[in-house]
A and B are shown apart, each in its own frame.
With several copies, the nearest count.
Chain A
Amino acid sequence: MTPRETESATSGGRGGGKRPTVRRTTKTEPLIVGNFHARSFRHAWKPFAEKSLSHWTTTLVIALALTIYGTFHLLLVNAETVLNQWESSNLVTVFMQRGVDRNMLAGVGKAIKGQAGVTHLTYVSPKEALIRLKGMMGEEAKLLDELEENPLPYSLEFRVTGHNREQVRALAREVGTFPGVETVSYDHQWADRLEAVVGLFRYVGHFFSLLLLAAVALIVSNTIKLTIIARRDEMEIMRFLGADDAFIKTPFLYEGALQGLLGASGAVVLTGVLYLGAHGVIGELNRSFGIMLSVEFLSIGQLILLVLVGATLGVAGALLSLARFLEV
């Protein structure tokens, strides 16, 4: 018959958050690591190694917060990319004057090609233009059948890449001065709209980003407080045994940093999963909009930044807790 203890009413018993088990180890003695930082790290890692639910759930919550933070940035980055794509792949149409011949057209085309950022230059013959017009008019195209002569001029189309809207406008103005060019048109309505949407996103995103980062620091500080409370007897005793500040505080700073780092790593993974998952939806968007959105993941630099932000917030949370709960 094995003995049964009903002694402690909480799993914490008198010790930390862990049920105090009676150890009778066969190993001769526990490892006493000399290095101060090794010791601090060991202490910080201990609750994680012991699968402390609160430490791992805190890590998860931090990961969530940073994922939301990261996702907002991902969305912003991509919205801006889309905005730029839209702008830079802006279709510019150049209508030539009536009576311009193929030679002059070729000359203008050459001049346009000389401009930076111009791609996909195509010549549109009056005949081609008429077919397109008919397509545009739908039901009403029949009336064009009654035309005796094609009244449309030559035109040119090209796209510009790597230009913002202002630059496209300047380019269009310049092309308008070329000999034989009647008028130049380009569309930026869409860009305006998207910019408004991105603006809304940015507004909401920044609002939440700030709150989320504050939340992460607070969450870490809370878990550290948990450890401080769980270890308050230990710390009081260590003080009486003559422990100095560094001996007592450093493990908590490590714990905060660890918490933040693990959370941030989790966030990187989660963001990645989300990114992959969103691919399907984006494909649908692409089909629906008839565009080719290439959604980018966060850059290496941004990922590193995310992890650093996590660690910094972790340390900040630890400092907050130490200042608040470890009166010295």
Chain B
Amino acid sequence: MIQFHNVTLRYPTGYEAVKKVSLTLPKGSFHYLTGHSGAGKSSILKLIYRAVLPSEGAVVVEGRNVEQLTRRQLPMLRRGIGVIFQDFKLLYDRTVFENVALAMEVAGHDPGRIPGQVKRTLQNVGLGERMYYNPIALSGGEQQRVAIARATVNCPPVVIADEPTGNLDKEMGRRIIALLDALHQQGTTVLLATHDLDLAGETGHPRIEMREGSIVGIWRDGTASGSEP
């Protein structure tokens, strides 16, 4: 469960990217997060995995206020959240396999289990063939899928995706959504930021709409409801 209590995020420039946002994402839910460019989608996601700290209010993940995590607890939080970054954040000096394996190494997994799990995950995103290439040898869309594989390889309870289909054609985009949906079926909490309203409308999941830092509505099955308290 992820909760935002009246959260405001003011960047050092003074710009308020998130304004008094309150939000609850129940365990095992799947939400889209939409809004214009600069609406604050990425900022919301960053608050969850504590890439930024709220200026006001509290972000609570699995019952813990992220702001009060100690140095030793922060890594644990992040291991529980698989993040697909808008800019991928891949390592270009190692193979696709090693990029994905890193997530498991960092989490301290049994080394014997790593290769099998990494391969399975890469095959899921259609990159079984490209496993031992460097990401530099992949197209934009293929890199995006590596990022997806890395975020999901540890089967984290929460997956956060920032424009995971921005570089993908419709078909591949649908495949990725289906993949995240499958994780959701297994109980993973998913939050997916996208600017593609069509894609967000295709599955029956609720859509949180942002505008200029505020949540203007949550749409469920095509009907709007007001912002949650």
Contacts and interface: CB of A to CB of B under 8 A. Distances in A.
A contacting B, Cβ–Cβ less than 8 Å = yes
Contacts of A15: 91-94, 134, 136
A244 interface: yes
Given A237-B91, A241-B102, A33 B111 contact: yes
Contacts of A21: 12, 134
Contact of A243 (B51, B106, B134, B137): B106
Contact of A6 (B50, B95, B132, B136): B50
Contacts of A32: 101, 105, 111, 114-115
Contacts of B77: 242
A242 B107 contact: yes
A30 B10 CA distance: 26
B160 to A, nearest CB: 11
B222 interface: no
Interface string A215-248: 0000000000000000001101111111111010
A13 B136 contact: yes
Nearest to B99: A237
Interface residues of A, number: 38
A242 B136 contact: no
Interface in B191-221: none
A274 to B, nearest CB: 39
A7 interface: yes
Interface in A20-76: 20-25, 29-30, 32-34, 39
Interface stretch (B19-27, B52-60, B174-182): B52-60
A66 to B, nearest CB: 32
A110 to B, nearest CB: 80
B198 to A, nearest CB: 30
Contacts of A34: 110-112
A197 B83 CA distance: 68
A22 B56 contact: no
A272 interface: no
B103 interface: yes
B59 to A, nearest CB: 13
Given A3-B55, A29-B115, A242 B91 contact: no
Contacts of A127: none
A22 B13 contact: yes
Given A233-B89, A240-B89, A243-B75, 17 more contacts: A3-B11, A6-B50, A7-B51, A13-B93, A14-B92, A14-B93, A15-B134, A20-B136, A22-B11, A29-B115, A32-B111, A32-B115, A33-B111, A239-B78, A240-B78, A240-B85, A242-B79
Interface of B: 9-14, 46, 49-53, 55-56, 71-72, 75-80, 83, 85, 89-95, 97-98, 101-103, 105-107, 110-112, 114-115, 119, 132-134, 136-137, 150
22 contacts: A2-B55, A5-B11, A5-B53, A6-B51, A7-B51, A13-B92, A13-B136, A15-B93, A20-B136, A21-B134, A22-B12, A22-B133, A23-B134, A24-B133, A29-B97, A39-B105, A234-B91, A237-B102, A240-B49, A240-B51, A241-B78, A242-B106
